[in-house]
Structure formats: structure tokens, C-alpha cells
Amino acid sequence: NHPLNVASSGGSNIRLLGRDNGSVDEATILFQHFDGSTSHGQIQGSSTGLSFWGGSTEAMRIDSAGNVGIGETSPNMELTLVNANNTEANPIAGFYTNNKSAGVIVDYKGIRAADVTADGSTALDANQDIRIDAKGTGIIRLGAYANSDVNIANGNLVIGTAGKGIDFSAQSSPA
């Protein structure tokens, strides 16, 4: 028993030819136990996109429009992440600095400072700030889109709808 070696010479392409299953043309690279009893994953290409499987579950898909779905088999935007477990213990995504000493986590409740490193091995500083910056004269809006309950614009905090709320302005006074 020898591993399969695939090579190309003279600049030719290496191709994996699949089959027409009646609805789409597809080709699959299957990873399984030597006796065929256990599926360890697969990469499947078809006219509708490319999918990656872990075991017997599709984990990621790149559709024919270039949309990527992780945990989603029909992504409808450039990147769709879906976490089937809606608990804080199972965040949807984490974004960390290159040394993993700080980060931001997105979970089903919102966005928060990361409390552990990406691999979960080390607790991070419990006193991290989260910063939201608008560009130029942009407005930071908190609440429903277009009818935000809290707006921060030009350094002023406005609470209420459509600017009809209370305007809080900070002024310094001489010592």
C-alpha cells in the first residue's frame, strides 16, 4: 500500500474529474478511514461553489458569487458566520492582536472585550476598554437603525429620538 502521488509536468493542470449527479456537476475529495467506515471530511466542488466538510457536517462554503459561509450553507453576503450554540461560552468570532494579548469577541449578546486568549488558555486583563470611533463628522448611533435612541455627534451626547431628546454637553470650568 502506497500513498497516491499526483504530479504534473510541462505546466499542465492537474484535474479531478467528477460526475454529473443529475442536478449539478460535482467533484469531491473524500478523507475517510482506510476501510471506508468513517468519514473524516471532504472538499466538494460543484457549479454552485466549493464546500468544506469536517466529518459528516458541512463547515464552510464558498458559493459561486464568492460569498463565504461558516456554519451556513447558503451565505447571502460576503461573509456569514453562524454559531449553532447561543451561549456566551460559545462566541461567534474573536479578533485578537498578533500576540493575542487583547481582543474583541462577538457573541449572541453583542460585542465585548476578550476575556481569554484565542485558544482559551490564558485569562486577559479584566479591565479592557472598547473604543468606537466615527470618521470625520460621522455619528455613533446606539439603538435601532435610523431612529437611534442614543447619538454621539461632534462630541455631543443626545438621548432621545431624532435629536428631540436631552442634549448633554460637557464644559470645563476654570479652577
* Three-class secondary structure of residue 42 per DSSP: strand
Give residue-wise pLDDT tens across range 115-148.
777 777 777 777 777 778 888 888 777 765 556 6
Of 29-38, 83-92, 161-170, where does mean pLDDT reach its minimum? 161-170
> Is 165's pLDDT higher than 70?
no
Residue 87 has pLDDT above 70, yes or no: no
Q: What's the rounded mean pLDDT across residues 83-112?
A: 79
Task: Average the pLDDT over 91-98 and give the result.
Answer: 83
Strands 140-142 and 39-46, bridge-based pairing: unpaired
Q: Which pLDDT belongs to residue 77?
A: 93
Residue with cell 437611534: 148
The CA-based diameter of the chain, rounded to the nearest angstrom, is 86
Q: Tally the C-alpha atoms within 13 A of residue 41's C-alpha that lie toward its C-beta.
A: 7
Using one digit for the tens of pLDDT, what is the confidence trace for 5-62?
Answer: 565 566 555 566 666 667 767 788 888 777 777 878 889 888 889 999 988 889 999 9
* Count of CB atoms situated within 10 Å of the CB of 49: 20
Residue closest to 29 by CA, chosen among 59, 63, 52: 52
Q: What is the distance between the alpha carbons of residues 64 and 47, in angstroms, rounded to a whole number?
A: 7
Which letter, b or e, does each residue of 91-110 get, where b requires 16 or more Cβ atoms within 10 Å of its Cβ? Answer: beebebeeebeebbbebeee
Cell of 29: 475529495
pLDDT at 50: 94
Query: Which of 70-79, 89-98, 124-133, 154-163 is least confident?
Result: 154-163
For residue 68, the one-letter residue type is V
What residues have CB less than 8 Å from 54, skipping those under 6 apart? 41
